[in-house]
Amino acid sequence: MEAEMSSRARFFFWVTVALGTVSVGLLGHAIYRLWERVKRHREAREAQERFHEADNEDDAGENGSDDEPGEMGDGQLCVICLRKRRRAAFVPCGHLVCCCNCAKRVELMDEPLCPVCRQDIQYMLRVYDS
């Protein structure tokens, strides 16, 4: 009888150890997922703030008169906003398809991709007409 009780006690001890280990592992995993979610939320909020800053930025280098859609053909309009003249080229693909504001927005994305060829963008270049 005493041997049976000691083997049962040993069994319940190891079951308790196993369940405790699983509980600690699940708790650690939950904390990790929560931390990742908080980090993603913070990064998204910072990216949104950068988007708003880029949107509110006044394009002092651009001449407002040449951005009127009536003065240019459809082939010269930004493919994203369809309001301003194409002024930014993406590197390395070289596509000249966006105005500076939209190009800044694309460049600030988590994974910036060219709107035409979907290739990764390293940076954008401002293109000036001569």
CA distance 79 to 3: 81
What is the CATH topology of the domain spanning 65-126?
Herpes Virus-1 (3.30.40)
* Mean pLDDT for all residues in the chain: 84
Instruction: Flag whether the pTM goes above 0.75.
Output: no
Q: Which residue has the higher pLDDT, 100 or 2?
A: 100
Reported residue count of the chain is 130
DSSP state of 121: P
pLDDT for residue 31: 98
Query: In this predicted model, what pLDDT tens digit does every residue of 104-118 receive, in sequence order?
Result: 888 888 889 999 999
Residue 128 CA, chain-centre distance (Å), reads 29
What are the sequence ranges of the domains in the chain?
A: 1-56, 65-126
DSSP state of 57: S
